[in-house]
Each structure stands twice: as C-alpha cells, then as structure tokens.
C-alpha cells in the first residue's frame, strides 16, 4: 500500500508506474473517492464536535436554554445518523481501491511485455552440450526411481508428486546446504506456519490480486501460503523496531501451495509448475533508505548466486521488465537457470525489493535515534525451491549411462554418494 498523500501529490508518477507494469488501476477514481471521504469525514467530525461540546454544557443549563441545547444535540445526532453510514461505505470503497494501487517501479526497470524482455545482467557458465541424446528431468527421475507422479495423482490429484529414495535425500541435501550457507552469512533460520490469516495475505500483497491462486481452508478461515515470505514478513506486523536491531535477516523453510490458476495448462509436464513444493526463502526488513535497500537487494541476490555457482549450474541474472514485476515490487531480478529440455534459461529465483509497500499494510515501523517513527523496507529472494531446482540439476548433470552426478557440495549431505544410478526394471 502507498501513502495516499504521495498519491495525491504525484498522480502522474503512479499512472506511469501502472502503465509500465501493464496493470489496470483507476487512479482518478481513487482520488475522487478520497476527496469524497475527506468531505464527508469533515461533516461527521463537525457533528461529533458539536454533540460533545453541547452535551458537556447541558448539566449546567436550565429552562429554555437547556431545551435549545438538547435540540442542538439531537440535530447533531441526526446528522451523524445520516453521514456516518455514508462515511463507512466510502471508507470501505477507498480501502479496496488503495489495495489495488501498484508500487511504481524504479527508473532502472526496463520496458517490456513478458520475460522475453528481461535484460541479462550477467551469466555463469554456458548451456550444457551433450555428445549423446539427453533425457528430460522426468524421464531421468523415473528411470532413477526417485519420483512417482502417477501414484501421487491417483490419491492427491493433478500436479502432485512423491519424491523418494535418492530424490528425497537430494532435496534435503539442497535445503541443508542452502540453510548452512545463509546462516554462515548472518541469516536467522526459521520454520514458519504454513496456514495464515487473511490479514497476512493482504499485508504482504498477495491479496486481493493473487487470491485465485491460493488454497483456502474455509472451515478455519485460513490460507495455505505460497511462500514463507508471507509469515516471515508478517512476523513483525504491528511492531516498532529499533534502528539498532535492523536489518533483520531471515531464512524460512516451508512447504508452499499454489493453485497455478493463471497457468492455463502451461508447463504441466514434470516439476516446473506444481500445486505443492518446498522452499527456503530469504527475507530482509531494513530502514526505509533506498540506498540501504539496494545494498540489501544485492546481498540477497549474491546469496542465491553463490549457491548456484557452488552447485555448478549454468545460469544468468536478469533484470525483470515492467510487465514481469508484481504489484508491490519496485525492482526484481531473476536467476534463470539453463534447462536443456526447455532449451532456454528459466526462472528458479526471484529477488524483489518492495520498499514500504508491505510494511504500510502490516504496520511494521522502525524508530531512529531522533525518535521519529518510519515504515520499514522489505525485500525477499528465493534461496532454493524444490523440485523445480531438480530440473536443471538432473538434466545438466546427467550421464550417457542414465546416471546423474551429484554436485560435490551436496555429497556430504548424501552419505558421500557421488551418483544416482538408474534402477533396473
């Protein structure tokens, strides 16, 4: 959520941000409702002031003077009964419109309509070349007997899976390696709730625009998270943090759940888009200084790049274009990893800066040395998400005999295992 005072003073900046993000929000309607809210609120406050002021004096009055005062109090109450319902309705409309306003992207964000317009910043390694006919990740996983999708679909429905044997060990190895890397860099590990209240989803900006992609537990009025960003950022809702305690560096492990409502049948084969997956997410909460925020953004990105380089996976860092940036983000970099079966770099990490967007919704603030209270900046980035990361890992490290070489950094977490061998039928 943005500051309405900023929107009033800079409507053209907001409109340009809407255009660049290819979103559809009517700022003129918002400003019109805002003006009406202030007008009606003025009427309500005037009637309340009259009622309170006159009521206070009534015990001292007598006779006709008291009757006149009582009549004025009644007139004030009648005015309130007329204007208070109108104000409530307008305030509800105002809040709904405010929740739809996107955060304007930074000027360095390029123009673009899709991820094809993302701008490469740097890359590591080169696309893998094979001197044999390579398999895709699902063929490999099935021949290695590390996944069972048909049985999972049988009892859990489409886009579900069971990782097993070395596949399960490989996922745990990835998470253990990622957590140890982040902890060594000063991040606090957390295991977080996977069911949250609506306020947390609205506060982190996943509602109202992303509501159709979220699983809802109606009986308990709770939502399954699509990323541990939601509980990690919400962890400090309604708090005022001290400057000396910032920045907060968190890494959270959780299962994640997404309906993939907008995918419309895309990427239905294999591990790319699933309803459930596991992830280690990074979150930073810092002071509301754009320069500090940019330093923290680079830190998040460097953590994930270090992990990918340690794994030896060819990847590139890309600056996301306007249309690929979400409602709350002012800046996003993606790490796109080479996936031979897709013959392209595809997203495995998303590093985002949101400035005050989430903290205003969740009322997360910080107090500086001058005792002034400000809203914090929040940032997030994937550390590792599985099983999507298994796509490039299996495909890039496959061997002609059908085995897959395990990256050296993961072997200590897999009892020294160097390869996953195909299983005989």
For 307-362, what is each residue's pLDDT tens digit?
999 999 999 999 999 999 999 999 999 999 999 999 999 999 999 999 999 999 99
Q: Which of 56-60, 104-108, 243-247, 401-405 has the lowest mean pLDDT?
A: 56-60
How is 172-188 classified by DSSP, letter by letter?
A: HHHHHHHHHHHHHTTPE
What is the mean pLDDT of the segment spanning 3-25?
96
Q: Which of 137-146, 182-191, 255-264, 399-408 has the lowest mean pLDDT?
A: 255-264
Q: Which tokens sit at 355?
A: 């400035």
Q: Of 159, 414, 173, nearest to 272 (Cα)?
A: 159
Give the mean pLDDT of the chain: 95
| Level-2 CATH architecture, domain 4-98 | Orthogonal Bundle (1.10)
DSSP 8-state code for residue 107: T
Q: Which residues contact 37 (CB under 8 A, 6 or more apart)?
A: 87, 90, 91, 94
Could you tell me the fold of the domain covering 115-420? BirA Bifunctional Protein; domain 2 (3.30.930)
- 86-103 confidence digits (pLDDT tens): 999 999 999 999 999 999
* pLDDT given for residue 30 in this prediction: 97
Q: Which tokens sit at 194?
A: 């996977």
Q: Is 380 annotated as a binding residue?
A: yes
Q: Of 246, 185, 55, 167, nearest to 410 (Cα)?
A: 167
* pLDDT given for residue 51 in this prediction: 87
Q: Is 185 annotated as a binding residue?
A: no
Q: Is 25 annotated as a binding residue?
A: no
Q: Which tokens sit at 257?
A: 């759940």
pLDDT surpasses 60 at 372: yes
- How far apart are the C-alpha atoms of 157 and 155, rounded to whole Å? 6
- 376-395 confidence digits (pLDDT tens): 999 999 999 999 999 999 99
- For residue 85, count other CB atoms closer than 10 A to its CB: 10
Q: Which tokens sit at 214?
A: 């979220």
Q: Is 229 annotated as a binding residue?
A: yes
* pLDDT given for residue 264 in this prediction: 55
Residues tagged active-site: 258, 273, 347, 350, 388
* pLDDT given for residue 424 in this prediction: 65
Q: Which of 35-39, 49-53, 220-224, 388-392 has the lowest mean pLDDT?
A: 49-53
pLDDT above 70 as % of the chain: 98
Q: Is 95 annotated as a binding residue?
A: no
Q: Is 350 annotated as a binding residue?
A: yes
pLDDT surpasses 60 at 425: no
| Domain ranges, ordered by start, for the chain | 4-98, 115-420
Confidence of residue 235 (pLDDT cuts 50, 70, 90): very high
What number of residues does the chain have? 425
**Cα angle for residues 119, 389, 132 (degrees, 5° grid):** 90
Tokens 């959520």, residue?
1
Q: Which tokens sit at 134?
A: 């390579």
Collapse the DSSP code of 393 into the 3-class scheme (helix H, G, I; strand E, B; otherwise coil) and give the result: helix
Report the relative pairing of strands 240-242 and 365-367 from DSSP bridges.
parallel
- 297-307 confidence digits (pLDDT tens): 999 999 999 99
Q: Is 258 annotated as a binding residue?
A: yes
Given a contact cutoff of 8 angstroms between Cβ atoms, the answer to whether 102 and 26 are in contact is no
């Amino acid at each position: 959520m943005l500051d309405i005072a900023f929107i009033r003073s800079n409507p053209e900046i907001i409109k340009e941000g809407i255009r660049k993000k290819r979103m559809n929000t009517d700022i003129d309607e918002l400003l019109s409702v805002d003006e009406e809210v202030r007008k009606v609120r003025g009427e309500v406050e005037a009637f309340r002031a009259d009622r309170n002021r006159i009521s206070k004096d009534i015990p001292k009055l007598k006779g006709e003077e008291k009757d006149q005062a009582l009549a004025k109090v009644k007139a004030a109450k009648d005015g309130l009964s007329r204007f208070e319902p109108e104000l409530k309705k307008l305030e509800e409309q105002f809040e709904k419109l405010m929740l739809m306003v996107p955060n304007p992207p930074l000027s360095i964000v390029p123009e673009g309509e899709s991820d094809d317009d993302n701008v490469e910043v740097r890359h590591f390694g080169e696309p893998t070349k094979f001197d044999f006919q390579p398999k895709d990740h699902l063929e490999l996983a099935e021949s290695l007997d590390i996944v069972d999708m048909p049985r999972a679909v049988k009892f859990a429905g489409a886009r579900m899976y069971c990782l097993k044997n070395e596949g399960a060990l490989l996922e745990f190895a990835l998470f253990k390696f990622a957590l140890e890397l982040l902890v060594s860099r000063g991040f606090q590990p957390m295991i977080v709730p996977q069911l949250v209240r609506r306020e947390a989803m609205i506060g982190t900006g996943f509602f109202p625009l992303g509501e159709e992609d979220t699983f809802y537990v109606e009986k308990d009025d709770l939502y399954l998270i699509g990323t541990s960003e939601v509980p990690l950022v919400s962890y400090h809702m309604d708090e005022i943090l001290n400057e000396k305690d910032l920045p907060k560096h968190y890494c959270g492990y959780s299962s994640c759940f997404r309906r993939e409502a907008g995918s419309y049948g895309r990427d239905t084969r294999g591990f790319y888009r699933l309803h459930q997956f596991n992830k280690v997410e990074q979150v930073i909460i810092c002071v509301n200084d754009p320069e500090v925020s940019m330093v923290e953004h680079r830190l998040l990105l460097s953590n994930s790049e270090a992990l990918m380089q340690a794994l030896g996976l060819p990847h590139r860092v890309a600056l996301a274009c306007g249309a690929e940036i979400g409602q709350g983000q002012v800046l996003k970099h993606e790490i796109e990893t080479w996936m031979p079966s897709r013959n392209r770099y595809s997203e495995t990490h998303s590093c985002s800066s949101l400035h005050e967007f989430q903290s205003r919704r969740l009322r997360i603030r910080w107090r500086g040395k001058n005792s002034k209270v400000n809203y914090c900046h929040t940032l997030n980035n994937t550390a590792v998400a599985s099983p999507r990361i298994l796509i490039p890992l299996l495909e890039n490290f496959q061997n002609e005999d059908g085995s897959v070489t395990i990256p050296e950094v993961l072997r200590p977490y897999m009892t020294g295992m160097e390869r996953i061998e195909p299983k005989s039928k």
